Amino acid sequence: MKNDSWQVNAADSGLRLDKWLADATRLGSRAKAFEAIARGKVFVNNKEQTSLEAGRKLQTGETVRVWMDRPGSAKHRVFTNRQVAGLDTIYEDEALLVINKPSGLLTVGLPKHPEEVTLYDQVADYLRHRSKLKPQIIHRIDRDTSGVVVFAKTDAARVHLKRQFAAQKPERIYQAVVYGIPFPEKGTWKDWLVWDKEELAQKLSDPRDRRAVEAKCHYRVLEKFKEASLLEVKLATGKQNQIRLQATAHGHQLIGEKQYQSEPPQNAIPFARQALHAFKLRLQHPINNQPLQFEAPLPQDFTALLQRLRKL
């Protein structure tokens, strides 16, 4: 897409600009929408939008233009002069900031994508404008996984939360859509994994391998479809890409999975990303030790997938 424009209809009135642009018929992801806005490529009623306006609510009849080949636009504005991003905040207090991360957005930067905007960048902007604090990373979820991500706002909170995660105390619950229906419909997946530094991927191994670490999660079927099922997956360990690899290893590849694939399904179900959502997180508050629970509602693409499957 180089240059396109749309008029907001009544059904979309009230939607955030970044979410509206993230629709598959427009830019396709929240990350692409935010980057286009921050780089001066998006106009509403002929007025250039900034990152401050990513969360503005659209009104019926407004004209939105994406001008990707705009002459003289500030290509690096998003990296050199970031502004407060339109974060989907679940919870915030003096110690914590909990965000509902959209799919398509890295949690933190990668060496091979040094200029790509990340959730950490957006949170850093937000805190810098409000409190001059620097976010502290506690955990992360994959680029194409959506859902709950927690940042600490102080060093003390970071230390306390890191200890909780190291001891596997937080309860991390995901929802996933997989091919087939696991049997039994409630159980535990236990495997041994080795991280391949060259391929940047997990590999199955066994306990005799000194490099291997145990990966365990508990699953249960929430809903069954003709050729797929919706699972609740509760992590007992928190290894990178764990659910994605374990689902494939146990014969139930995630719909939309591109990296950890088994034999291609005969009737592939189209989905733009892995169907995995960090739905719920329970932990202790790092200051007062009170139990907290955070939930991120299923995103639009995920609910649309479920609706399609129910009609098959």
Task: State the catalytic residues.
Answer: 142
Positions of E strands within the chain: 3-7, 42-44, 47-48, 63-67, 89-92, 96-101, 136-137, 146-152, 171-179, 186-196, 201-205, 213-224, 228-235, 276-284, 291-295
Dist CA 194 CA 87 (whole Å): 34
Q: Minimal CA–CA distance to 246: which of 195, 181, 208, 191?
A: 191
Dist CA 302 CA 275 (whole Å): 7
Element (H, E) at 166: helix 155-166
Structure tokens at 139: 């955990």
Sign of CA dihedral 262, 270, 15, 66: positive
